[in-house]
Amino acid sequence: MEAPICLVQNWKGQLTLNPEAIRILEKISQPLVVVAIVGLYRTGKSYLMNRLAGQNHAGHIGSSLSQGFSLGSTVQSETKGIWMWCVPHPTKPTHTLVLLDTEGLGDIEKSTMEMTSEINMPGPVCLIENSDQQLVANQKALEILSAIKQPMVVVAIVGFYRTGKSYLMNKLAGKQKGFSLGSTVQSHTKGIWVWCVPHPQKPGHTLVLLDTEGLEDVEKGDNQNDCWIFALSVLLSSTFIYNSMGAINQQAMDQLHYVTELTDLIKSKSSPEQSAVDDSANFVSFFPTFVWALRDFSLELKFNENSITPDEYLECSLALRQGTDKKTKRFNEPRLCIRKFFPERKCFVFDRPAQTKQLAKLETVPEGELNVEFVEQVAEFTSYIFSSSGVKTLSGGITVNGPRLQNLVLTYVNAIRSGELPCMENAVLTLAQIENAASVQKAIEHYEKQMNQKVQLPTETLQELLDLHRPIESEAIEVFIKNSFKDVDQKFQKELGEQLVEKRDAFIKKNMDVSSARCSDFLEDIFGPLEEEVKQGTFSKPGGYYLFLQRKQDLEKKYNQTPGKGLQAEETLKKYFESKEAMMDTLLKMDQSLTEKEKQIEGERIRAEAAEAANRELKEMQKKHELMMEEKERSYQEHVKQLTEKMQQEREELMAEQQKVIAHKLQEQERLLKEGFQNESRKLHQEIEKIKSSKAPSACTIF
């Protein structure tokens, strides 16, 4: 087993066995050493199991990077149900080590995910209309996609008209009817139609089915958009099904000429300097799994008198011929393109489903009246698609959900309509611009929400507010980091940093304003009666000034002992006393019991107190400045720390992606050498060396 498979599915609280996993177990005759792991979600169970399997890294379940049990990269539990991985036992020959990884116990996301996983799409909707030789994205279908936030397994089917494509897609949807089958020689499906259904084996995932209009439809007259529909199906899908009738012969290969035209229809990089041939070398990194469905297949699967599987039949059919003449080149070209562009290939053969009269109404024929072999073949086909089709990902292992698929459709269709080639790199960068801007907003909203919930204003000191701010700022950066990708030159992270500073400073100002307002209220309540006594002349008598001072000191002590004033307590009190200087000066001058010398001494005391207060204020300002500079440095280091971790993770994913591409090209190079194609083998060697020499992204300065 190259990768784990779900053994027991947990879907909406219902446990069901996966038939594909059971079939794998039935084929193992060796004694089994069964190791299971259980524990709370996000506690590293899958990592340990991957180590037991001899794997160091793993991607998301179903992704192109998947090498083992999924570790996940969010707070959500990645493993659902019980997953199984059978590997040779490392120390017990003739034994099989069976590893069982289980979904996390106490996963708080389960109920939420189940609530949000409902997909209300009773039937297919046209996604890309082919009208008057113009491709147009359908707004209704785009709105449906944008509402689905789950990872998507995208399965597209392409083939000649009236070859039964829609029937297979309806079976994948688990419905008898849905995509129009038609009952005449006319093609019923126009453009590309989409049907989103809950994935039957991967909880929390959506199965997206793309049915396409028939290629080479004689009714169309002009088939210029057939190439674009073929190319779009390749670009949008994680599993690409080519549906044809009968055996794989030269006619079938000639009809598959679209695959040879992909280099003229798709770009992987936006660089204008890169040739189509050089650019197509990158196709393998993001092209889908290629599945060839052979309908009404009546040949006996044999090669050199030996029985072979459909997969072996496909590989035999892709063998090249020696020669440089035009006929040999035409023979080799589509085969070479399939081998180069699609590293993962699968083949299914289907008997004729029913009698000729029943074919016209196949969707109404009970399964019991269909050819038994055909029913079994369809079951095997659907089982493979459900268990083996991966989540649609973009370069760098970016998982595609509804909004991302919506934007990909718009980007590709707009490029075609404007006369440009759909470019994977441009599509990813366009998507990144949209999502990174949204990620900044999401992070800021998280910061504001958490600060409003956790900070009780006013705080007694600036330090207290900053101590609350720091972990929330770190969380906000984490929210951005986890939801962003391809942030060229850290443009959006810089924007986030600037907005976080603005929000932090706004909270600091609000903290001061709330404190000042509260202190002013306290001062009015505490000193209000004293001011009334002054107005009534209570202290306008000999000895009244010192009587006033005593009362003032008592009230000042009461004010200082009042809790909840915040960090503006001293500043507000200072300003209050400054506003009453004229009143105190009048009382001092009116007190006849004081000599001029005593009044002079009192004036000097008041000025000394003011100077001392000003000195304390200056020190506080210096302390605040130092504190804010320390906070700026700490914030910068937090940005760098999280960005560095993300870049390291992206580098590992890129290296894993490159290793997978290199492994495929090495395998193809070896096959070409065995077949005697030295020139093609040499070209592949150059491609491999170019990949090896490509540099991983280096660290960047944020601010």
pLDDT tens-digit readout, 508-527: 999 999 999 999 999 999 99
- Angle of helix 596-675 relative to helix 491-535, nearest 10 degrees? 160
Mean pLDDT along residues 304-313: 92
Find out whether 87 and 21 touch, Cβ atoms under 8 Å: no
Mean pLDDT along residues 68-92: 74
Q: Which amino acid is at 460?
A: E
pLDDT score, position 106: 59
Q: At the topology level of CATH, where does 433-665 sit?
A: 1.20.1000
pLDDT score, position 317: 94
Query: What is the per-residue pLDDT across 99-147, written as a single tens digit (0 to 9) for each?
Result: 999 987 755 445 434 434 457 788 999 999 987 778 999 999 999 999 9
pLDDT score, position 563: 95
Nearest CA to 288 out of 156, 466, 425 is that of 156
Find out whether 148 and 119 touch, Cβ atoms under 8 Å: yes
Please give the distance of CA 664 from its chain centroid, rounded to a whole number: 26
Rounded-to-integer distance, Cα 372 and Cα 378, Å: 10
Residue in the structure block whose two tokens are 């469905």: 293
Query: What is the per-residue pLDDT across 326-360, written as a single tens digit (0 to 9) for each?
Result: 999 999 999 999 999 999 999 999 998 877 665 65
Query: What is the per-residue pLDDT across 586-601, written as a single tens digit (0 to 9) for each?
Result: 888 887 776 778 878 8
Rounded-to-integer distance, Cα 48 and Cα 564, Å: 51
pLDDT score, position 223: 66
Handedness of CA 401, 471, 497, 457 (dihedral sign): positive
Which position has the higher pLDDT, 599 or 233?
A: 233
pLDDT score, position 379: 94
Greatest CA span in the chain, whole angstroms?
131
pLDDT score, position 80: 73
Give start-end residues of each CATH 1.20.1000.10 domain in the chain. 433-665
Query: What is the per-residue pLDDT across 379-438, written as a single tens digit (0 to 9) for each?
Result: 999 999 999 999 999 887 889 999 999 999 999 999 999 888 888 888 889 899 999 999
Which long-range contacts (C-beta less than 8 Å, at least 24 apart) are formed by 316-323? 317/248, 319/675, 320/672, 320/675, 320/677, 322/676, 322/677
pLDDT at 73 over 50: no
In the chain, what percentage of residues exceed pLDDT 70?
A: 87
pLDDT at 283 over 90: no
Give start-end residues of each CATH 3.40.50.300 domain in the chain. 5-113, 117-422
pLDDT score, position 61: 36
Most confident of 62-66, 370-374, 446-450, 591-595: 446-450
Mean pLDDT along residues 229-246: 95
Mean pLDDT along residues 16-29: 84
Q: Mapping DSSP to helix (H, G, I), strand (E, B) and coil, where does residue 189 land?
A: coil
* Superfamily grouping for domain 5-113: P-loop containing nucleotide triphosphate hydrolases (3.40.50.300)
- C-alpha separations of 90 from 26, 47, 53, 401 in Å: 21, 18, 9, 38
pLDDT bracket for residue 608 (50, 70, 90): confident
pLDDT at 602 over 50: yes
Find out whether 572 and 523 touch, Cβ atoms under 8 Å: yes
pLDDT bracket for residue 60 (50, 70, 90): very low
Which position has the higher pLDDT, 199 or 267?
A: 199
Rounded-to-integer distance, Cα 33 and Cα 18, Å: 21
pLDDT score, position 67: 60
Which stretch of 8-17, 245-254, 286-295, 521-530 has the lowest confidence by average pLDDT? 8-17
Q: Tokens representing 17?
A: 């066995």
pLDDT at 48 over 80: yes
Mean pLDDT along residues 141-162: 93
Rounded-to-integer distance, Cα 184 and Cα 29, Å: 50
Rounded-to-integer distance, Cα 466 and Cα 468, Å: 5
Give one DSSP letter per residue of 521-566, joined into a string. HHHHHHHHHHHHHHHTTTT-STTHHHHHHHHHHHHHHHHHH-S---
pLDDT at 364 over 70: no
Mean pLDDT along residues 281-308: 89
pLDDT bracket for residue 59 (50, 70, 90): very low
Given the candidates 3.40.50.300, 3.40.50.2300, 3.40.50.720, 3.40.1440.60, the CATH classification of the domain at 117-422 is 3.40.50.300
> Over the chain, what is the mean pLDDT?
85
